[in-house]
């Protein structure tokens, strides 16, 4: 058993204990991996009704400058996204790239009128904050938010549940952000998440996090969901886990994240390049890449986990790829995976083989998401 | 019934020894999603890996608790691996071994000792 005492705790630590969560170390925090319901039922509940996740381990940062354009312009030197063109009250997916065009982290950023609100991964947050400070300051201040929890409410019943606390949330659509009063606290709400389901992410003052969570959990359709199910939900949804599916050695084009790079930042765009590693990223876009991230459906029942080598034939030959995330997909009711394969093998329905315990088992390149997304656009 | 430190249970049934995993083990593993059974007729030796079970989290091996020959496997688990969580010491046995040396059973714990072992 790991020493959980040495780990950081989220503002919801007492609630997790009261709910009977199994806690594990994750990115320096003690986090709930599952509740008594178990990973499989938690996953299915989230797809059928609504699940509440504690994601307070993630980093929350506010970027402020003389005005929002100053902040957006500065932030564009760090990410290949259209930040200046992001409307007030909207959020966007982003990437921090490095000089080699690799991915340092993935993130969400929102235009909240007079500032940008950025959410980064727990394991990368120290480096991300240092990066932002070194590049953006002093023109833009980097304020790390330490006094707010972050929770996610995900699933088809999320809107009905959250609207009971404030009907205004029903008017939001995918990637909208707004200040919303919930259970007596001013929350920063976005209509987004990382499960492939409709839902919300809610930044709530730490002292109000438990009351808000309990108000939601008191509703019939809401169950607490741990990191175990969060992982299988995002995998079925075809969403990358930083550190598994993308990392410093991955070009965003290989990762299939070209959609996240808006036209204005691409070759020929008004603000072409100007982010770390732009020549590598735009070069990959122009010339193509040797490998691509694909969805994978093992044809048997055996899960193919991260690290599983992929081959073009049942016998012989070198590996042509590798699984980067894999496991059991409760909604698919079978094994699901994603990984990288040589570009010539990346076409949907290509039949390949994954080597499990020395045996090559068939798998198919599959369209992502592996389970249809359910966003409210 | 006898119990191993690897959280297997053994039950003598005529000439065969039926092998499964304990409720404690099933709970620790979480939802079982895949079971790979040995082939009937395989000769196995004690502590050899004969069976793979995968939970949503990870793969685990089941070891042969005694020497002998696999005489029957529980095919129902292939289609319904979740039975291992629902009924680990009943319906969800994994395989039967015809013991080469029944005396090997004597080394294992009885139920009281096992309960103490898992504390």
Given B31, B34, B78, which is nearest A40 (Cβ)? B31
Q: Over chain B, what is the mean pLDDT?
A: 95
Nearest chain A Cα distance for residue B14, angstroms = 33
pLDDT for the residue B58: 87
CB spacing of B78 vs A301 below 8 angstroms: yes
What Cα–Cα distance (Å) separates residue A339 from each residue in A148, A255, A288, A344? 35, 9, 18, 14
CB neighbour list of residue A353: distance below 8 Å, 6 or more residues apart: A310, A311, A312, A313, A314, A360, A361, A362, A363
pTM of the model: 0.95
In this prediction, what percent of chain B has a pLDDT beyond 70? 100
* A292: β partners: A341
pLDDT digits (tens, 9 = 90+) for A309-356: 999 999 999 999 999 999 999 999 999 999 999 999 999 999 999 999
C-alpha A4/C-alpha A195 separation (Å) is 27
Across the interface, of B34, B56, B59, the residue whose CB is closest to A228 is B56
Paired sense of beta strands A351-356 and A309-311, if any:
antiparallel
The residue-averaged pLDDT of A142-151 equals 98
Torsions phi, psi of A8, nearest 5?
Answer: -70, 155
A301 vs B34, B56, B58: nearest CB: B34
The B-side interface with A (CB below 8 A) comprises: 30-31, 33-34, 36, 52, 54, 56-59, 78, 81-82, 85
The residues with which A323 forms a beta bridge, in sequence order, are: A339
Residue A3: pLDDT band with limits 50, 70, 90: low
Q: How far apart are CA B91 and CA B78, in angstroms?
A: 13
User: Phi and psi of A326, rounded to 5°?
Assistant: -160, 150
pLDDT given at position A100: 98
CB distance A76 to A271 below 8 Å: yes
Interval A249-275 mean pLDDT: 98
Q: Considering only CA atoms, which of A53, A165, A78, A71 is closest in space to residue A112?
A: A71
- Is A301–B52 a contact, with Cβ atoms under 8 angstroms apart? no
pLDDT at A2 over 60: no
Is the confidence at residue A182, as pLDDT, over 60?
yes
Contact state of A38 with B30 under an 8 Å Cβ cutoff: yes
pLDDT at B30: 92
Whether B34 sits inside 8 A of A335 (CB atoms) is: yes
DSSP H stretches of helix in chain A: 13-18, 39-48, 68-75, 125-136, 158-165, 206-217, 227-236, 278-287
Contact B56 A305 (CB under 8 A): no
Phi and psi at A315, nearest 5°, equal -135, 145
- Give A286-309 pLDDT, tens digit per residue: 999 999 999 999 999 999 999 999
CA–CA dist A33, B75 (Å, integer): 31
Going across the sheet that includes A116-120, the strands are: A90-97, A103-111, A116-120, A59-64, A141-144
**Does residue A179 surpass a pLDDT of 60?**
yes
> Is A302 close to B30, i.e. CB distance below 8 A?
no
DSSP symbols for B7-65? SEEEEEETTEEEEEE-HHHHHHH-SEEEEEPPPTT-EE-TT-EEEEEEESS-EEEEE-S
Sequence-distant (≥ 6) Cβ neighbours of residue B68 within 8 angstroms: B17, B43, B44, B97, B98, B99, B100
Neighbours of B67 (CB within 10 A): 17
A369: preceding bond cis by omega (within 30 degrees): yes
Query: Do the Cβ atoms of B30 and A301 come within 8 Å?
Result: no
- Mean pLDDT estimate for chain A: 97
Q: Does residue A285 carry a pLDDT above 90? A: yes
Q: Which two tokens stand for residue A95?
A: 């990437």
pLDDT at residue A138 is higher than 50: yes
Partner B contacted by A38 (CB < 8 A): yes
Residues of B in contact with A328 (CB under 8 A): 31, 33-34, 54, 56
Task: Using CA coordinates, name the residue in chain A closest to B31.
Answer: A40
Judge contact between A42 and A188, C-beta under 8 A: no
pLDDT digits (tens, 9 = 90+) for A90-128: 999 999 999 999 999 999 999 999 999 999 999 999 999
Do B54 and A328 make contact, defined as CB atoms within 8 angstroms?
yes
Half-sphere exposure (CA, 13 Å, Cβ side) for B109? 16
pLDDT in tens, A10-53: 999 999 999 999 999 999 999 999 999 999 999 999 999 999 99
**CA-CA-CA-CA torsion sign (B80, B84, B90, B96):** positive
Tell me the count of A-B CB pairs closer than 8 A.
39
Residue A179: HSE in the Cβ half-sphere, 13 Å Cα cutoff? 7
- From chain B, the residues in CB contact with A335 under 8 A are 33-34
| Closest approach of A325 to chain B, Cα-based (Å) | 12
* 3-class DSSP assignment, residue B81: coil
Contact A19, A33 (CB under 8 A): no
Q: Which ipTM score applies to this complex?
A: 0.88
Cβ-based neighbours of A117, under 8 Å, separated by 6 or more: A60, A61, A62, A63, A109, A110, A177, A188, A203
* A277 reaches B (C-beta below 8 A): no
**CA pair distance A170, A181, nearest whole angstrom:** 13
In chain A, what residues touch B86 (CB-CB under 8 Å)? none
Q: Which residues of B touch A303 (CB under 8 A)?
A: 33-34, 54, 59
Helix (H, G, I), strand (E, B) or coil at A245: coil
**Residue B76: enclosing H or E segment and its boundaries?**
helix B76-79
pLDDT exceeds 80 at position A4? no
Q: Is residue A341 within 8 Å of A294, Cβ to Cβ? A: yes
Using CA atoms of A231, A234, A238, A241 in order, give the dihedral in degrees to the nearest 10. -60
Best residue in A43, A46, A302 to probe B by mutation, most B CBs within 10 Å? A302
Q: Which of B27, B33, B75 to mutate to test the interface with A (most CBs of A within 10 A)?
A: B33
Query: What confidence score (pLDDT) does residue A1 get?
Result: 47
């Amino acid at each position: 058993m790991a020493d959980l005492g040495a780990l950081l705790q989220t503002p919801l630590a007492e609630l997790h204990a009261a709910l009977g969560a199994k806690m594990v170390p994750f990115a320096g925090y003690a986090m709930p991996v599952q509740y008594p319901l178990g990973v499989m039922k938690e996953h299915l509940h989230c797809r059928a009704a609504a699940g509440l996740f504690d994601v307070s381990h993630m980093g929350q940062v506010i970027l402020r400058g003389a005005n929002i354009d100053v902040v957006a312009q500065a932030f564009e030197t760090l990410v290949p996204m259209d930040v200046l063109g992001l409307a007030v009250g909207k959020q966007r997916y982003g990437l921090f790239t490095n000089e080699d065009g690799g991915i340092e982290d993935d993130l969400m950023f929102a235009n909240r009128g007079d500032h940008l609100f950025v959410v980064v991964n727990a394991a990368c947050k120290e480096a991300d904050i240092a990066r932002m400070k070194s590049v953006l300051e002093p023109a833009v201040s980097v304020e790390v938010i330490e006094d707010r929890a972050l929770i996610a409410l995900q699933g088809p019943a999320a809107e009905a549940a959250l609207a009971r606390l404030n009907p205004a949330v029903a008017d939001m659509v995918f990637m909208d952000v707004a200040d919303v009063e919930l259970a007596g606290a001013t929350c920063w709400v976005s209509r987004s998440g990382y499960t492939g389901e409709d839902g919300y992410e809610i930044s709530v003052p730490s002292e109000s996090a438990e009351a808000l969570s309990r108000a939601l959990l008191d509703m019939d359709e809401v169950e607490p969901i741990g990191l175990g199910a969060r992982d299988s939900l995002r995998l079925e949804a075809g969403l990358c886990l930083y550190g598994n599916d993308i990392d410093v050695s991955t070009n965003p084009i290989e990762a299939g994240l070209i959609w996240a790079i808006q036209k204005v930042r691409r070759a020929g765009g008004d603000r072409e390049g100007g982010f770390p590693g732009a020549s590598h990223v735009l070069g990959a876009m122009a010339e193509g890449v040797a490998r691509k991230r694909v969805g994978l459906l093992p044809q048997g029942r055996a899960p193919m986990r991260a690290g599983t080598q992929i081959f073009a034939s049942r016998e012989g030959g070198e590996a042509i790829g590798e699984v980067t995330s894999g496991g059991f997909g409760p909604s698919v009711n079978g094994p699901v995976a994603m990984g990288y394969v040589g570009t010539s093998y990346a076409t949907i329905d290509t039949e390949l083989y994954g080597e499990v315990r020395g045996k090559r088992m068939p798998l198919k390149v599959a369209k992502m998401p592996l389970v249809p997304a359910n966003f409210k656009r | 019934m006898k119990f191993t430190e690897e959280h297997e249970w053994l039950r003598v049934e005529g000439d065969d020894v039926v092998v499964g995993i304990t409720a404690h083990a099933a709970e620790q593993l979480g939802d079982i999603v895949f079971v790979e059974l040995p082939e009937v007729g395989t000769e196995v030796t004690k502590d050899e890996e004969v069976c793979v079970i995968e939970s949503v989290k990870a793969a685990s091996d089941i070891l042969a608790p005694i020497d002998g020959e696999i005489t029957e496997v529980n095919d129902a688990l292939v289609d319904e691996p979740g039975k291992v969580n629902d009924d680990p010491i009943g319906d969800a046995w994994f395989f039967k071994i015809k013991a080469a040396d029944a005396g090997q059973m004597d080394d294992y714990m009885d139920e009281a000792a096992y309960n103490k072992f898992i504390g």
